[in-house]
Chain A
Amino acid sequence: MSQLRAESARLLAVFEATGAVRVEADILQQADVLLDLYGEDIRARAYVASDPLRGEQMLRPDFTVPVVQQHMAVSAEPARYTYAGPVFRYQDNATGRAAQSEQVGYEVFDRSAPEAIEAEVFGLFHRILAPLGLTASTGDVGLLRAAIDGLTTSEARKAALRRHIWRPARFQSLLDRFSQPVARKVLGAGGQQIGLRRSQDVQERLAQLQDEATAPPIPSAEIAALTDLLAIRGKLPEALELLQALTGRLPSIGPAVAHMASRIIALDAAGVDVAQIGFEAAYGLTAMEYYDGFVFGFYAAQPGWPAIASGGRYDALTRVLGQGRAVPAVGGIIRPEYSLRAATGSAS
């Protein structure tokens, strides 16, 4: 325990040395904010307690949400924060992971060039973790978002795809559905009108489904290009080449690929050996998280360990919590329990 405290303190000190301000967050969080953000899935991960006066409370599953709330309430940009403390997540299946675990984090709210901030955060984590010999993986959710924006299809279909970026199975089934003509049987009379959803809502959606049935499918060349995009993986320079080659078939990802190119230059300038950093276009899409751009994780070879550190860009989260105000935000956390174990492991 004292070793863990020392490791947390060491990491905090490194983050504070960059000028980050130490912040605290309540362990008990208002559940409705988190439920609104994450949906019902969070209940399978977070401890919920009911309070007859305050309503449902949740043991904080992460610091990001309260830190963003604090920043949006009072502060101006640029701002850099650091924090340390326990987060609580229960595992519905026996993974052997602790329900209470320590996180030390670093969050940057800064309107400067996005690639510079991304390189700053990743570079800092990379420097701190360098002695541990970890493998770094990165991704960029912005590429997939840009690819969706460019599809030859209705705005409704694009919105449906965007909504399910983080649920790959549903995303794939939507893609399959939108790539062929839709045959649909129409049900007969439904009986008595019950519930809050009105009959005009039903009529309206039936009309939409009628339009859908005659809507042209997404061209197969675009589906193939999107599938190829999701399959791209390699070290950063190779992945960039593959992506640049793909822009011929998916022109809408051009700006996102250019952004990635400038991020690689910025990473290089920050002292990161980019040829050693992995990239997967589908990275970060399975986690129940809020990242919407650059994402990263650092992994040890030990099976069953979580990422020792992870993070990314979450502009959209600040828009949701900021009630109209949005801030470009990049951050990440280190799990000191694991950085400590990795350090002991590599020393012995």
Chain B
Amino acid sequence: MIKLGVPSKGRLMNETFDWFAKRGVQLSKSGSDREYVGRVEGVDGVELVLLSAGEIPRELAAGRIQLGVTGTDLVHEKLANWADTVEPVAEMGFGFADLIVAVPACWRDVTSLHDLDAVAARFRADHGFRLRIATKYHRLVRQFLTAQGVADYQLVDSQGATEGAVKNETAEAIADITSTGATIAANHLRILEDGLVLKSQATLWKSRSAGGDCGPLIRKIRAK
């Protein structure tokens, strides 16, 4: 028996179910709508495990599930050396989102990371602390800003409603996932021209450490 981890609720779950259905594998929640137990039809030897999308990378890395559906962003953020622990089987064509760096739209002098860096130096001198960037993607954003040579900033943790952090004065800038940019604009923010950290979409991943034969399921979804 192999285990397939799928996000346990919302649009990501429904789109995953649709994606597998188109390929002849029916996934469904068994029992009541509130119960996190699933059923698999159309292929033998596969058990459906419903999990939070954020926990799927960890479960794959630990080898407790053989296959899992989650965003590129979460795999890259949560797994150091992700390429050593998981491999992508299929990009699924939904759940598109970009991890971006955005600043207040009223910062008319800031359009690029170069500007952000210059402003960070000045901000630190003026305020006595480093310019705060709110995010939940600490590793990805830090790696990106280090590679781009941005200094004098600090990351502050924001697990939700990150776009509101500037207005609430808990941060000066943000780094977050966006699909249309509408929430960014609605919160009076603007994406930097060179502020794209990562392009993400829902992806089916295979654990490199879990035993078990994923062959039948992978052949089935690739046949269609």
User: Interface on A for B, CB 8 Å cutoff?
Assistant: 35, 39-41, 43-44, 92-94, 160, 163-164, 167, 169-171, 173, 177, 185-197, 199, 201-202, 205-206, 209
Contact = CB atoms under 8 A, between A and B. Distances in A.
Contacts of B127: 196
Given A194-B104, A201-B122, A206-B108, 17 more contacts: A39-B153, A40-B145, A40-B154, A43-B142, A44-B142, A169-B147, A170-B149, A173-B149, A185-B111, A190-B104, A191-B106, A191-B188, A192-B105, A196-B169, A197-B107, A205-B118, A209-B109
Nearest to A288: B146
B18 interface: no
A41 B169 contact: no
A94 B81 contact: yes
A195 B149 contact: no
Contacts of B148: 169-170
Contacts of B142: 40-41, 43-44
Interface residues of B, number: 41
Interface string B137-160: 011001101111111111100000
B108 A187 contact: yes
Interface in B101-149: 104-109, 111, 114, 117-119, 121-123, 126-127, 130, 138-139, 142-143, 145-149
Contacts of B152: 39
B86 to A, nearest CB: 14
A202 B172 contact: no
B107 A92 contact: no
B98 to A, nearest CB: 21
Contacts of B121: 160, 163
A165 B128 CA distance: 22
A171 B106 CA distance: 28
Nearest to A160: B118
8 contacts: A92-B143, A93-B80, A186-B108, A196-B127, A197-B107, A201-B122, A201-B126, A202-B108
A201 B123 CA distance: 9
Q: Which 3 pairs show the lowest CB-CB distances between chains A and B? A: A170-B149, A190-B106, A167-B149
Contact of B106 (A94, A185, A199): A199
Contacts of A43: 138, 142, 155
